[in-house]
Amino acid sequence: MEEASSSSTTVTGCAPSMKTTSCIETPIRNDQNEEGTLIAGCNQADSQTTAFFREIDGARRNTYLGCMIRPIISLPDKRLRAVSKPVEKIDLEVKKLVEDMFETMYDAPGVGLAAIQIGVPLRVVTIDATRGDDEKQPVALINPELTWTSEEKGTMEEGCLSIPEFADEVVRPEKIKARFLNLEGQTVEVEADGLFARVFQHELDHLNGVLFIDHLSKLKRDRVTKKFAKAAKREAVE
């Protein structure tokens, strides 16, 4: 997703007035349950540095810098409609992919990126839902999945790095529960709302070949698709 620009759109595509979801130390359980699953409680807070993100991916925070910026594919590239495959093993290749994804995401700039957006059909997502001068909180999500979504819906403006210079309002659940693996292979379970929840759902859609324009009316979706198809033809001729 896109980060906030000078207008009211963010590159995950959420409006600047939207509060960032972060996790504060008091309500966090950072232990393991009987099944050995890492548990982390998450709720809406201010932009202070959060212990939660350090715990789930802290060991590799400093390795995200100095990596390769990869080109981001855009509509109408057919790869964006592919369903990404689960990661079977978190090896050095996957970890290098994650580092490149963070470098690419920050350069864009964006607050979320799915591996398929750089042409890699694996279920890997990177998110950093911090804003402005707040300390970066990069989170790598391997094989992410939703386990619950609230009945309460919210409407917010979204954009996408793969559909540049276009944004529109999208309705999604306000709160989520999710599960994923971190780079250490630990299972992480989170409850989130705000920006993190919005970005998570946007990026999970990418892994299933769904774009945010699919949540719009057919008329709007067709207009956007035709616009980018024409632009791609012009570039091919040039």
Q: What gap in Å lies between CA 204 and CA 102, rounded to an integer? A: 16
Q: How far is CA 30 from the centre of its chain?
A: 22
DSSP state of 66: S
99 noted as active-site residue: no
Contact of 104 with 131, CB cutoff 8 Å: no
List beta partners, residue 139: 127
Type and span of the H or E element at 93: helix 92-107
Please pick, among 3, 35, 203, 235, the residue that the annotation labels catalytic.
203
Most distant pair of Cα atoms in the chain: their distance: 60
Do you know the residue count of the chain? 238
Q: Could you tell me which of 64, 50, 40, 63 has the C-alpha nearest to residue 20?
A: 50
Cα–Cα–Cα angle for 191, 50, 44, rounded to 5 degrees: 45
What count of Cα atoms within 13 Å lies in the side-chain half-sphere of residue 151?
A: 0
Q: Which residues are catalytic?
A: 203
